[in-house]
Amino acid sequence: MPEPIRRSELMGLEQYAEQREAFRARVMAHKRNRRVALGEHITLLFEDRLTILYQLQEMLRTERIFEPEAIEEELATYNPLIPDGGNLKATMLVEYDDPDVRRSELAKLVGIEDAVWMQAAGHERSAAIADEDLERSEADKTSAVHFLRFEFPPAAVEALKAGAALAAGVDHPRYNHAVEPLPGPTRASLLKDFQG
């Protein structure tokens, strides 16, 4: 299981300002293979220790947080988003450029966060466990951002480590799309999340 991010690992605001450009470039290159588009309007951004460290640093910078207690609160919020070695975790974005279209589509896509799945070839689908921290949907519309966890049984993890293909998709009455299999570089990047 990956170690949680500790306060001692975080750069202070001044140090981060100096290193931000290089760190951001490193993280963006890393994220390239951790992005899965499910059709035109849904993107899964798979989180890991590095992506969460970046989000933390950006949050501290944006909010000008430097007090130890406030930093610990942010760590408590963000550390659970790191995969624990037996699962994958992703931020799901529902994206429509036009605000009016977005509003209309989010009303049609209620429950979509529970319709996302991943699958190791030869094994049952792993359904998304959505928004464990707080409810993001309402009866008449879903949110544009959701946090998903995919639990894989040990046999599926072993199959992936042995070379099984990995797929992802969404089966919702108003939105249906799958990527089968995920591209090799994406699969290789996500497989590292199962190393613990």
The helix, strand and coil proportions of the chain, stated in percent and rounded to the nearest 5, come to 45, 25, 30
Worst-scoring range by mean pLDDT, 64-73, 129-138, 182-191?
A: 129-138
pLDDT for the residue 134: 62
pLDDT for the residue 136: 60
Whole-angstrom Cα distance, residue 54 to residue 155? 32
The two tokens of residue 159 are 């199959």
- Per-residue pLDDT tens digits for 60-73: 999 999 999 999 99
pLDDT band at 45 (very low <50, low <70, confident <90, very high): very high
pLDDT for the residue 3: 87
pLDDT band at 188 (very low <50, low <70, confident <90, very high): very high
Percent of the chain predicted with pLDDT > 70: 96
Query: Coil, helix or strand for 31?
Result: helix
With tokens 């008449």, the residue in question is: 140
pTM of the model: 0.92
- Per-residue pLDDT tens digits for 74-106: 999 999 999 998 899 999 999 999 999 999 999
Please give the angle made by the CA atoms of 10, 14 and 17, to the nearest 5 degrees: 85
| Strand 145-151 relative to strand 166-172, pairing | unpaired
Mean pLDDT of 33-52: 97
Whole-angstrom Cα distance, residue 123 to residue 152? 9
Q: At what angle do helices 49-63 and 13-31 cross, to 10 degrees?
A: 140
Whole-angstrom Cα distance, residue 1 to residue 6? 15
pLDDT for the residue 51: 97
Strand partners, 148: 90, 130
pLDDT for the residue 140: 83
Instruction: Tell me what the pLDDT averaged over the chain comes to.
Output: 94
pLDDT band at 139 (very low <50, low <70, confident <90, very high): confident
Question: In the predicted model, is pLDDT for residue 196 greater than 60?
Answer: no
Question: In the predicted model, is pLDDT for residue 14 greater than 70?
Answer: yes
The two tokens of residue 90 are 């992703």
Whole-angstrom Cα distance, residue 77 to residue 59? 11
pLDDT for the residue 31: 96
Closest CA to 127 of 156, 157, 150: 150
Whole-angstrom Cα distance, residue 163 to residue 150? 19
Question: In the predicted model, is pLDDT for residue 133 greater than 80?
Answer: no
Q: What number of H helices and E strands is found in the chain?
A: 6, 9
